[in-house]
Amino acid sequence: MNDSKIKIYTDFDGTVTLTDVWMEIGKYFIKNKQKWDKIIKQFESQEIGARECFTRECELLEDLDIEKINEIIDNQELDPKFIEFYEFCLKNNIPLAILSEGMDYYIDRLLKKYNLEIEFYSNRIKFSEDKKRLEIEFPYSDSDCLNCGTSKRNILMNKTADEEISVFIGDGFSDSCVVNYADIVFAKKSLASYCWKNNITYFEFTDFGDIIKKLEKILLNKKPKHRQSAKFKRRDVFLRG
């Protein structure tokens, strides 16, 4: 039983999957790599936000082929321990949700491929009738924040009750906001560097097997507590409205 009232939220691209699926699609269908590289650098330096970044990337896509897109998606691999982690959450009655800056089309397709029933929040792909063009919609954006297409912070805060403990798992730039508001953070790659530089307490991991081991210890040895700095930040957001 989940007596500790933990809720787990995880990034998708590069965390649940071994690669960034949107980037893999872009590698095949974006011919002008120089323009694409410039857009990515502008996003990483925060000259542009996620919504503008994705919109401009879509404009660079050429000769779309839905069958090829599906092939690229189906060839993506999950973290080798993720299915075991999914089963661990089910066994312990721990709610698990995906918070992604990626796209609903490939997240849904991959979850169905592996028979995983996981709630997810992401940006949304809208194909033209002939499937030759696509647009991106942002159903979970924050009107006051241009940096995020999907506001992971808002979802985590709105879906976690005051008495519940939020756990976030991630790897990259799009996770750097939400980790300030999560009680327990698992990080790798650039997100681990961000946490270290910004004095955010975190557990580094290589794969989801590491996370299982740590959570087993947390659940066995002590009742998880709110991270005070994260609790104050959440309170400040709610007070500002």
Task: Kindly state the average pLDDT of the residues 118-146.
Answer: 91
Domain membership of residue 193 (yes or no) is: yes
Pinpoint the alpha helices (H) of the chain: 21-29, 33-44, 50-60, 66-74, 82-91, 104-113, 152-159, 189-197, 208-221, 228-240
Indicate the pLDDT class of residue 159, thresholds 50, 70 and 90: very high
* Host domain of residue 112: 6-17+80-122+144-240
Is residue 37's pLDDT more than 50? yes
Query: Looking at residue 117, which CATH number applies to its domain?
Result: 3.40.50.1000
Q: Is residue 37 part of a domain?
A: no
Q: What's the confidence (pLDDT) of residue 132?
A: 87
Rounded mean pLDDT, 44-50: 89
How far apart CA 27 and CA 130 sit, in angstroms, is 22
Is the per-residue pLDDT at 1 higher than 60?
A: no
In a domain, 117, yes or no: yes
- 205 in a domain, yes or no? yes
Whether 78 shows a pLDDT value over 90: the answer reads: yes
Query: At residue 241, does pLDDT exceed 70?
Result: no
pLDDT at 3 > cutoff 70: no
Task: Judge whether 132 lies within some domain.
Answer: no
**Could you give the number of structural domains in the chain?**
1
Residue 58 maps to a domain: no
- Is residue 101 assigned to a domain? yes
